[in-house]
Amino acid sequence: MNKLNIKNLTLFFFWQYIVTTLILMALYTGGNRYAPELTYFVLDQNYLSDLGRTINFAGKQNSYSIFYAITLSLVGIGIFLFFLQVTRTINNKFKHLVILLALISSLSYIGIALYPVDQDIATHVKFGRIAFFSFFFTSVIFHILIDKKKHPKSNKLLFVLNSLLFGYLVLMLFGPSSSQGVWALQLKTIAQKMMVYSQLFLCLLIFKDINSK
């Protein structure tokens, strides 16, 4: 697989997740934790993982769950390809640690897809935490290794990305449980979407900046 193919695949895997999840939100009819009777996706009351439920909150089969599993698995692969591509500019032995951590994050995202929240919530949550933590450490180490003079824009973007990731991880570990009420569910679901989409958009900008040099 040559450099051009990796670049195109990475861009495709990231963009397809953004587009596919927006489409799945429009098609979603399964309600949420506090309002199972609703027939639409509520941005501040539904997690992205609700799109992957095989059985929705209304107790009905979710015909589109397979598409969420596929799109999440592909973005997981995209994360590995992203770091594989951007670390080509680094001449440091620690770049291999970045790639290893990226692989762990990539496989964890696939794990999230393989274990829908309604089928095995414990495994789903475990893979979710591993995915975000490993991505965070991957991004931090990459930020340390990157040539900041050569890539000043990426340096700033990585600072923003890592700051957002750190904040989200703190919320994930110490924030309220969504079972504490609608307000807690709203906080967690909004934060999740902001983090996921910001993560992808910032990575796309970093990817463009580094590959333009």
Q: What is the pLDDT of residues 150-186, one digit of tens each?
A: 999 999 999 999 999 999 999 999 999 999 999 999 9
Q: Please give the share of the chain, as a percent, with pLDDT higher than 90.
A: 91
Above 80 in pLDDT, residue 3?
no
- Residue 213 is predicted with a pLDDT of 65
- Residue 116 is predicted with a pLDDT of 96
Above 80 in pLDDT, residue 1?
no
Least confident of 86-90, 114-118, 167-171: 86-90
Backbone dihedral angles phi then psi of residue 55, each to the nearest 5 degrees: -120, 120
Residues belonging to the chain: 213
* Separation of alpha carbons 140 and 128, rounded Å: 18
Mean pLDDT of 115-136: 96
pTM: 0.93
**Whether the Cβ atoms of residue 134 and residue 104 lie closer than 8 Å to each other:** yes
- Residue 212 is predicted with a pLDDT of 80
Residues near 144 by beta carbon (within 8 Å), at least 6 away in sequence: none
Residues near 138 by beta carbon (within 8 Å), at least 6 away in sequence: 83, 98, 101, 102, 105
